[in-house]
Structure 1
């Protein structure tokens, strides 16, 4: 197999695309707390059968913005370090960080923003339209990835004389698109309500990175057992003897207008280039389906399936690179000096996206089709005190290629009148026991969170703001 030995295979552009926009992207494409609030149109985001009693029009660009971030292990104190992915990062060297990790460490972010939306009653049915931007980021990083990084800083219990480090790594995926939807809700009799929304999708980006294996074996002499390769001096480096081997298997596949590989004559990837031209890279369609059934005047059950759909990405906007890398570094041979420098540069980095380990080779681009993250929603609610108080439970499950997220939320809402209401919720799965939520309706403005912030150790945070102006009479 041909191995490319040029100095650097820099995929920093990929890291930027995957994580640089992540501060905008949060784990909250919908808000659960508002699901039980009266006079709020946003509950249709979770079930198209739940029409509000009045029509509405949202304020452009701030009609509904949901944002948040969630991890099963990593606290918010370290989110910015992970997103920056800097070569000089050292957050992973702290005992506090490493002690909180699990074998699989999930990081989920998403954004949903209604750029424009409106709804109205026409006869017995309720129509609604929306133009929205959606973005998802999912990542799953094994604990041994960070142990691998710590070893490069001299923090492993293995000696460089006979180190054998291995990880089967990580996967990260980012997906962004715009949707234009038309929905319709209609009651059938006094108990059953059905709703559906048909959506056209305009693909902005879909990038998937997967590292299947990284293995490093060393048999070195004249080096400290726990040498930090980021601080090794030239004098110390030149004394190192022996051999080291790095094996890596990885794949990068993405679709985005203006995104290309920069390759050498053998199609090995030197870099990634983004022209910044913008534009759409794919098109697709999806549907939301929902139903609500009244068991009595005050008790309602509901169910929905959201985002049943796909996006087809064009060949001209798609790239694919595959790595099957096996590199031997000989510190005793003719090229010992070159191999020492390359080995140091390969392992000293504090980047999770350390592309020097991968040696990607570009493959012929082809059109591709990806599915959306489908969500299943089950709800139950009961009204008390002449409909002023609503209590209920909500189960949501988002299915994903990298991670599947489930949540169970208990909530209560009290409406003082049709303009003012307050809701309190508790979400018990994603929050590590701190999932308190709060919502306020003050006229046309709704503010809510499913996961309040409780300091730097908080692992799940979310926020929602919406401005929706009621239109027409109550139905």
Structure 2
């Protein structure tokens, strides 16, 4: 449970069946209005590709995305004498260091990998089956933590910092999904639904109901009410001796036993698309509207595969790390937060509670509303997409505009701009090479032209996104 993983950008890696840990879903928003895209069914089960397909195993859909509102290098490092220094440098004033830090600073990441997928048409119905892996993580870091690190040791008197808004939740699971969509009203209305059987892999949730740290020049005193839940195959709690009190052991992470399935669950996606092609109003005939509500569901974790820890709600005093080593510019952002995590972990002093039963967690639901207008028949459309993700601790929104161009029957492209995380520094792009026979190739990103550090932390943009896939089409185009 290292906080520096949060600050370092939640670089999420999927390696087949080894997931240690939803984005809005399992697909790039740039592909939403591309009629050749089979991946967009995961955004809205009523959306269909224009041809049946079989996905290339392990390569049909690989998707990862990271978003933040403030936690990029531009807000955490500053130019000084031709070099970049961290916000801890003494020549970076408190006002400058905290100028672009919000009261709540979130970072959220998700990744998906389809191991196998197939989609086929039968009459007016479209069927899709997929088996894949998914993972997501959300975290919030309050401004008070940065204040504590920047000025907490320079106060002439003790000052209390409220860190109660610190939170982290993450989940990983395998998904077996079956989608069916059907057309109605002379093909004007398409309704779709996906039923999903879920196999839980891991879960963690850190909830600081209260966490106050009083900082002096030589000590921290913490009073907290913090709950940490964890789930995984044969999970156990690991402790190590306190750096500050030889008579006390501190929580130091989780260990796992032999492979098993620690949780089972169900999920549901529903969606619809309405085409105004038969409208009596002329200009409406080129309009399509769509709506989807995804990831309605839960995972129940079994008793032998869960743990819960809580703080003791008594004052804990520690002698924190020496943060003066971070003021000369020689250390990195991750070094700073490494020390912060170690100290906060010692100050909270988590200990395991007795667990009498397992527990149930809900999925991270998301909603999508789309408007598409055809400006050049069978060639070009414009689209507007509104996406909302309902997280446990915070809700995020995104507005995306796109221009979707299909110059050939085998080539589809999309250029998009997402307002919340792009800041006019990046745009979205999707390309689908979709011949009716052979191999189809799909590449998309909602946030392109990204500058990143060697640690994969965005330097100026607020998001990273990438999706790619390979498939083999069959049957005629619709």
- TM-score under structure 1 normalisation? 0.80
| Counterpart Cα distance in 1 of 2:97 and 2:129 | 45
The whole-number CA distance in structure 2 between the counterparts of 1:208 and 1:58 is 34
2:454 equivalent to 1:458: no
SS in structure 1 of the partner of residue 449 of structure 2:
coil
Q: Which runs of 5+ in 1 are unaligned?
A: 1-10, 81-89, 220-226, 230-242, 330-341
1:62-101 equivalent positions in 2, closer than 5 A:
62-75=59-72, 91-94=86-89, 95=92, 98-101=98-101
Q: Given the two structures, how large is their TM-score scaled by the length of structure 2?
A: 0.79
Between the aligned partners of 2:7 and 2:102, the Cα distance in structure 1 is 22
Q: Deviation at 1:392? A: 1.2
Could you tell me which residue of structure 2 aligns to residue 356 of structure 1?
346
Compared CA separation, residues 129 and 313, structure 1 to 2 (3 A): same
Alignment-derived partner of residue 258 in structure 1: 234
Distance 1:312 1:474 in 2: 41
Indicate yes or no: 2:343 matched with 1:343.
no
**Counterpart position of 2:34:** 37
* Deviation at residue 142 of structure 1 after TM alignment: 0.4
The CA deviation at 1:386 is: 2.5
CA distance in 2, matches of 1:165, 1:50: 49
| Structure 1 counterpart of 2:141 | 141
In the other structure, the counterpart of 2:178 is 182
What's the CA shift for 1:376? 1.0
Say if 1:102 and 1:206 are closer, same or farther in 2 by CA, change over 3 A.
Answer: same
Aligned length: 418
> Paired residue for 1:412, among 388, 391, 403?
403
Q: 2:113 maps to which residue? A: 113
Does residue 280 of structure 2 align to residue 292 of structure 1? Answer: no
Decide whether the 8 Å contact of 1:195 with 1:289 is kept in 2. Answer: yes
Instruction: Give the RMSD, CA atoms, in angstroms.
Output: 3.1
Aligned to 1:334: none
For 2:196, which of 185, 195, 199 is the aligned residue? Answer: 199
Moved more, 247-256 or 201-210: 247-256
The correspondence of residues 125-140 of structure 1 with structure 2, limited to 5 A, is: 125-140=125-140
Q: Is 1:208 equivalent to 2:205 in the alignment?
A: yes
CA–CA separation in structure 2 for the residues paired with 1:59 and 1:79: 41
Output one character per residue of 1:246-294: Cα deviation in whole Å (capped at 9) or x when no partner. Answer: 3222111111113212469x99754434136343210001111111111
| Alpha-carbon distance between aligned partners in 1 of 2:135 and 2:287, rounded to the nearest angstrom | 35
Distance 1:78 1:463, change over 3 A: farther
| 1:384 lines up with 2:347 in the alignment | no
| Cα 1:305/1:246, change in 2 over 3 Å | closer
How far 1:167 moved relative to its partner? 2.7
Cα distance, 1:19 vs structure 2: 8.1
Residue in structure 2 matching 1:168, options 160, 164, 173: 164
Q: Retained in 2: the 8 A contact 1:101–1:143?
A: yes
Alignment partner of 1:473 out of 470, 473, 476: 476
Tell me the SS of whatever aligns to 1:148: helix
Structure 1, 459-468 or 209-218: larger mean CA deviation: 209-218
What's the CA shift string for 1:350-379, capped at 9, x where partnerless?
233631011112111231111111111111
Q: Do the aligned partners of 1:144 and 1:169 also contact (CA within 8 Å) in 2?
A: no
Q: Are the equivalent residues in 2 in contact too, given 1:346–1:356 (CA < 8 A)? A: no
Question: What's the CA shift string for 1:5-49, capped at 9, x where partnerless?
Answer: xxxxxx66x987998974338846321111111311111111111
Deviation at 1:162, TM superposition (A): 3.6
User: Which residue of the partner structure matches residue 324 of structure 1?
Assistant: 312
| CA pair 452-65 structure 1, distance change in 2 beyond 3 A | same
**Max radius of gyration: which structure?**
1
Distance in 2 (CA, whole Å) between partners of 1:67 and 1:417 is 28
Deviation at 1:314, TM superposition (A): 0.6
2:114 and 2:132 in contact (8 A); partners too: yes
Q: Deviation of residue 390 (structure 1)?
A: 1.4
Tell me which of 441, 444, 451 is aligned to 1:445: 441
Contact persistence 2:232–2:256 (CA under 8 A): no
Measure the CA separation in 1 of the matches of 2:351 and 2:254: 15
- C-alpha distance in 1 between matches for 2:248 and 2:190: 57
The CA deviation at 1:407 is 1.0
Q: Which residue, 370, 391, 394 being the options, matches 2:385?
A: 394
Once the 2 structures are TM-superposed, how far is the Cα of residue 324 of structure 1 from its aligned partner? Answer: 3.0
Answer whether contact 1:202 1:280 (CA < 8 A) is retained.
yes
